[in-house]
Structure 1
Amino acid sequence: MSSLRIKILWRNAIMKKLLKKIVTFTLLFAIVLGYNSSNLVFAKNIVITVQPKNFIGKVGDQFSASVTAEGTGLSYQWQYSKDGGKSWKDSGMASAKTATYSFKIASGDLGINYRCVVRDSSGSSVISESRKLSTGLRITVQPKDFAGKVGDQFSASVTAEGTGLSYQWQYSKDGGKSWKDSGVASAKTATYSFKIASGDMGINYRCVVRDSSGSSVISESRKLSTGLRITVQPKDFAGKVGDQFSASVTAEGTGLSYQWQYSKDGGKSWKDSGVASAKTATYSFKIASGDMGINYRCVVRDSSGSSVISESRKLSTGLRITVQPKDFAGKVGDQFSASVTAEGTGLSYQWQYSKDGGKSWRNSGVASAKTATYSFKIASGDLGINYRCVVRDSFNNTIITNIGTLNEMKNEDWELPIM
């Protein structure tokens, strides 16, 4: 056998032994790796099940925040940030290494962010969500609407609770769609005050309140309007077709405009009147048959767009009694008669009687009780009764007559005198 072949066989034998060792080592490594992988699979990962919450308090209050996590051999480290979460430092107080972080709030603590780093026995870690410690900032008294005129001193105030409060009043000229910081000196105080100019009418205003932690709260929006008010309300009007109707309203405010309205359904719905006078303080027109029974009112607006509506009034016929019923004297069997004369439209009548001196009244059931002349044959029970008439017009206006009395006629009242 040649020396070359001997060398090749020797080399192959060595390679087989080396390959066997490599395979053996690989198998051992795989077994070890498999064992460790098995351990990793069954190890419990850290999971935060309950995150800490924001905290609101003031200096001297007891702060408390908690975290709940699942894992093996857990440890805790609470951290804080004073730059809004850009950088974090481990808290050095005792509770910072427990699941519940607690301490008495100092002025320097207001506005901090805090979080918790949770570690397990393997060295793995997870960080909770960041939360904020802020003051109990709240507005306790909201500003109010203000009514005034050019030249008046405007004033609005806000009251808030918190630490290190600052104020910035804002105004809006587009109904609250956009806001600008006011530049007047008082705009940075709790009470906003200035002399009203024409351009201020109709503005909305509000206050942004901030505390030392940077938290802020915005007050409710309010409006500066003219001192718009109705000082003299319109009155009811009674008239007939062809009469000149007139109703007036008196109001205080700046740049007033008027729009009279009418309703034909008792005030359920309203329409703007189209007559010329409907845009003036005095509403006037000649009454037509279709106008009877309408309700009317006036909408008054000022230059700021504020509006106020007058009380509703009614146009009715001039219902009135022109001839009252009279007392009647008679005896049983006589024909009783009493009459009433009234003015108005579509009149109806209902005669009533009373047997207790006028304390209570009942509608009479006799046929004539629904006419202008009340008539019946006197019975014994009728003597001494009182009577009256309720008159209604087509608009359901009513008026009641004076009371008459049916007296018993004595013999001496009706016997003829002796000649």
Structure 2
Amino acid sequence: LGGSDADTVVALSVDPVGDLYYVTATTSDNLRLPDSAAQGAVGGSNAYVGKYAIGTVELTVPSGDEVWCAGSNRAISWSAQVLPDSTKYSIELAPAGSSNWTVLTRTALGRSFSWKVPNVPTGQYQMRITTSRGHLSRLLTPFTISNPPSIKEQPKDASACLGGRLVLRVVAEGAGLKYQWRRGGNNIAGATADTLVIPALDAAALGRYDCVITGTCTPNATSAAVNVTTAVATAISRQPSGVAVDAGKPFTLSVAATGSNLAYQWLRNGAPITG
């Protein structure tokens, strides 16, 4: 029965389908039955009722580590021994590491069940199959449910001085992602990462860029097209003017500038002013 101390069956009954029910007296406090209320008992003598369900069931597909695409039709299958053909099986799904089980069916018959994979967040999931008599089989290794590639952050227009370094980046999610950057609709050899780096911008590199993202699941995703241009040198077109102001009164300073990707930082006595 699994305890390390004295375990004694004091009563036994067999139901019409052959499952065994037993009453056991025990002084063990470490019963190996995972669903036993006596598992944490300490001291003295305890008694409990247990059940042994005749026959076995084992989930065979998925077996773990597969990638199933949302929206696809999949066959969940299992094997069973000494169980009648009329046995109904319950199949449940939960995120890996979670106990939030969702029932897929409670009336599966035979040895397989056709399931349309739902649109759930891409990630790892666990599955289990049970019978009303207490049989249980559960995946030991999670499998993955994936959605088609989706873009979470689009690339942005970028510019740099000729000879300068320029970076384009796209953020996507999905299983088995692969990237292909294009310029003017044509594939760029070797540009197969989520980040495209142009180490030294020249006239030949100017143009419109996008990225085609493929994955285990279809359809593919294509990013927005962005412009790569040469930067305009920064120049101040209007300098700020000095002002006289009464103590405690507000005042405004302004500057005008031209150029690409301008950013401003005001300083006071050479030190940056926050904000």
TM-score (ref. length: structure 1): 0.26
Kindly indicate whether structure 1 or structure 2 has the higher relative contact order, using CA contacts under 8 Å at least 6 residues apart.
Answer: 2
If each structure's helix is expressed as a fraction of its own residues, which one has the higher value? 1
Question: Would you tell me which structure has more strand in proportion to its own residues?
Answer: 2
